[in-house]
Amino acid sequence: MPAAPLPFLFEESAFGSRPVVILDGGMGTTLQAPPFELGLDSALWSSELLNTEAGLSTLHSLHSLWVESGAEILGSCTYQSSLPMFLNPTSTSYSATDLQVAHSTMVKALGVITADSLPKPKRLERPIAALSLGPFGAQLQPGQEYAGLYPAPYGTKETPSSLGFPKLAAEAHPLQLEWIGETADKEEDHLAAWHLQRLEDFAKEPAFEKMGILAFETTPLIREARAIRRAMDMFELAREGEGMRPKAFYISFVFPVDDEGNPKFPDPDMEGGLSLEEQATKIVEATFGEKEGYLMPAAIGVNCTNPLELGKVVEALGKAFEETVGEREERPWLVLYPDGGSVYDVVTRTWSNPTGMNESRWATLNTQTVKTALSRTTSGGLPLFGGVVVGGCCKAGPGAIKALRTECEKEGLIKV
Please state the residue numbers annotated as binding site for Zn(2+). Answer: 304, 393-394
- Tell me the C-alpha distance between 107 and 165, whole Å: 18
Phi, psi of 110 (to 5 degrees): -70, -35
Give the H/E segment covering residue 131. strand 128-133
Residue 250 β-bridge partners: 215, 299
- Tell me the C-alpha distance between 309 and 37, whole Å: 29
- Tell me the C-alpha distance between 136 and 100, whole Å: 22
Torsion angle of C-alpha atoms 23, 29, 31, 37, degrees rounded to 10:
-150
Query: In 53-97, where do the E strands start and end?
Result: 73-75
Are the beta carbons of 341 and 357 closer than 8 angstroms? yes
Instruction: Tell me which residue of 82, 45, 79, 43 sits closest to 174, measured CA to CA.
Output: 82
**Residues 6+ positions from 173 with CB-CB distance below 8 Å:** 83, 84, 87, 99, 197
Please tell me the number of Cα atoms within 13 Å of 88 on its side-chain side: 10
- CA terminus-to-terminus distance, the chain: 37
Query: Can you say which residues are annotated as belonging to the binding site?
Result: 304, 393-394
- Tell me the C-alpha distance between 175 and 195, whole Å: 10
Question: Which stretches within 123-218 are classed as H helix?
Answer: 167-172, 177-180, 186-203
Query: In 320-413, where do the E strands start and end?
Result: 333-337, 343-345, 350-352, 388-390
From residue 208, give the alpha-carbon distance in Å to each of 56, 183, 201: 17, 30, 10
